[in-house]
């Protein structure tokens, strides 16, 4: 469950708000222990994987799965969503900046034999696409796979069944990854055709890729990432993707 959804659910079940005294500004170097203790008490079951001091005085950035939230040092206030910093170089998303720091190493650690790749004959760029077989925009992207390749874009697919690992789509994705010809199986599934090959017994990477997608903050498919972990967006037409990759 996404953290923002959990927040909403808990708020709807809360009858009374905390009426403690107004918060005082915390020092920039304040220890995060108090804030994290209150966060875990308020939202039991969440897993905090990283805590960093925020550039905003008296605040911390906290990573929960693939999400980042901002919390005051005294643990009273939690902010979900974007935090923008207006730098001399331009507007920077602090959340996206930290997610890229997670995604880059995650992408670098991927093994080629765990991906389904449609390579460009003359490669100029690579993208990593979390995909499902049931989403319309995933199918649209795949129908244009030759156009991306012709523009010099190699497309690497990773599995992200939107309905979860127990969904029918997850089973189809596992069959695709265990097929002798993965490219053919992916194309058949994206065209809503039965798979023409008998899947072999194999160690399907669908579960690990789904978990990686959650760490990356994937909320829908397709989710397109660059080699260094920048999210380009969801579905992008070939010319737009090439432009965003600096190829045009």
* CA pair distance 193, 163, nearest whole angstrom: 20
Which residues lie below 8 Å from residue 229, measured CB to CB, with a gap of 6+? 99, 100, 101, 102, 103, 104, 106, 107, 216
Nearest Cα neighbor of 35 from 4, 68, 6, 76 is: 76
Judge whether 244 counts as a catalytic residue. Answer: no
CATH number, domain with residue 149: 3.40.30.10
How does pLDDT run along the chain (248 residues), one tens digit per residue? 455 555 545 444 443 334 333 334 433 334 899 999 999 999 999 999 889 999 998 999 999 988 999 999 999 999 998 999 999 999 999 998 999 999 999 999 999 999 999 999 999 999 999 999 999 999 999 999 999 999 999 999 999 999 999 999 999 999 999 999 999 999 999 999 999 999 999 999 999 999 999 999 999 999 999 999 999 999 999 999 999 999 97
The residue among 63, 90, 117 that closes a domain is 90
Active-site entry in 67, 103, 138, 178? 138
Active-site entry in 132, 139, 175, 178? 132
Nearest Cα neighbor of 62 from 42, 47, 41, 45 is: 47
Parent domain of 211: 106-244
Judge whether 178 counts as a catalytic residue. Answer: no
pLDDT confidence of residue 11: 46
User: Do residues 125 and 185 both lie within one domain?
Assistant: yes
Judge whether 132 counts as a catalytic residue. Answer: yes
Residue with the two structure tokens 């010319």: 239
Report how many domains make up the chain. 2
User: Do residues 122 and 198 both lie within one domain?
Assistant: yes
* CA pair distance 68, 211, nearest whole angstrom: 16
* CA pair distance 142, 133, nearest whole angstrom: 10
pLDDT confidence of residue 66: 85
| Phi, psi (deg, nearest 5) at residue 30 | -60, 145
pLDDT confidence of residue 212: 97
User: Do residues 237 and 118 both lie within one domain?
Assistant: yes
Active-site entry in 103, 139, 162, 175? 162
pLDDT confidence of residue 2: 58
Burial 140-175 (b: 16+ CB within 10 A, else e): ebbebbeebbebbbbbbbbbbbbeeeeeebbebbbb
Tokens of 71: 């919390």
């Amino acid at each position: 469950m996404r953290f923002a959804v959990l927040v909403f659910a808990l708020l709807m079940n809360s009858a009374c708000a905390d009426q403690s005294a107004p918060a005082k500004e915390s020092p920039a170097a304040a220890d995060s222990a108090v804030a994290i203790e209150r966060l875990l008490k308020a939202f039991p079951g969440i897993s905090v994987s990283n805590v960093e001091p925020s550039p905003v005085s008296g605040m911390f950035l906290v990573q929960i799965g693939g999400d980042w939230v901002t919390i005051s040092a005294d643990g009273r206030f939690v902010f979900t969503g974007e935090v923008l910093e207006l730098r001399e170089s331009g507007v920077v998303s602090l959340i996206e900046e930290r997610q890229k720091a997670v995604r880059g190493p995650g992408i670098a650690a991927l093994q080629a034999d765990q991906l389904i790749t449609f390579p460009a004959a003359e490669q100029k760029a690579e993208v990593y696409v979390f995909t499902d077989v049931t989403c319309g925009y995933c199918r649209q992207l795949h129908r244009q796979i030759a156009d991306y390749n012709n523009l010099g874009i190699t497309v690497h697919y990773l599995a992200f069944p939107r309905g979860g690992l127990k969904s029918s789509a997850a089973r189809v994705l596992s069959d695709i990854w265990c097929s002798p010809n993965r490219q053919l199986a992916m194309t058949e599934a994206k065209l809503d055709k039965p798979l023409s090959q008998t899947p072999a017994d194999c160690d399907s990477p669908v579960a690990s890729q789904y978990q990686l997608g959650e760490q990356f903050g994937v909320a829908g498919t397709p989710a397109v990432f660059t080699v260094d972990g920048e999210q380009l967006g969801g579905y992008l037409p070939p010319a737009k993707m090439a432009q965003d990759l600096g190829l045009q």
